[in-house]
């Protein structure tokens, strides 16, 4: 009997980056989840970032995201790092730009791996690195009329 690690499904797929995009239209959970489907994946982790109604003790009415032209390329670079570190079968990441309101989806990322622990860790690394490294800026508008710009993501 072959060892578990000898099975090709235990390793990263040949081309696991299935979807990377920055969009000015509504995001779809179904699209992202569907992009990471893989018969060799035993675990899929999905993270959804939504616009919340508060930040730092202030009520948020709306916000806008803008990005540098290199944002999508930076997302791909980060995805490639995640794929190099984990046995990713499939990965997808989509970020919204433009004006959003409370409840809108701002970012959706998903990763499928042979096992759940790897999927959770890879998904966490993906969203954390996207948040810290991709040149996407958030302009928050508060109920009291004030506003602020927040760095990447």
Does this model's pTM top 0.95?
no
Strand ranges for 1-57 from DSSP E: 17-23, 43-50, 54-55
Give the CA dihedral 73, 69, 97, 89, nearest 10 degrees: -10
Token readout for 81 is 């790092």
Q: Calculate mean pLDDT across residues 139-145.
A: 95
> Tokens 């993270």 appear where?
47
Least confident residue range of 6-20, 91-105, 120-134: 6-20
pLDDT tens per residue across span 22-80: 999 999 999 999 999 999 999 999 999 999 999 989 999 999 999 999 999 999 999 99
Q: Calculate mean pLDDT across residues 98-106.
A: 97
Rounded percentage of the chain residues whose pLDDT exceeds 70: 94
């Amino acid at each position: 009997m072959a060892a578990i690690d000898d099975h090709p499904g235990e390793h990263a797929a040949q081309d696991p980056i299935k979807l990377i995009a920055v969009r000015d239209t509504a995001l779809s959970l179904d699209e992202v989840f569907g992009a990471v489907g893989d018969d060799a994946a035993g675990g899929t982790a999905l993270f959804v970032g939504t616009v919340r109604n508060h930040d730092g003790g202030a009520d948020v009415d709306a916000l806008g995201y803008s990005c540098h032209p290199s944002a999508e390329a930076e997302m791909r670079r980060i995805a490639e790092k995640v794929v190099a570190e984990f046995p990713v079968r499939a990965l997808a990441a989509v970020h919204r730009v433009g004006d959003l309101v409370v409840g809108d989806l701002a970012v959706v990322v998903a990763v499928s791996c042979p096992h759940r622990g790897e999927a959770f860790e890879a998904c966490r690394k993906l969203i954390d690195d996207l948040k810290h490294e991709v040149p996407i800026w958030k302009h928050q508008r508060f109920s009291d009329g004030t506003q602020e710009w927040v760095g990447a993501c």
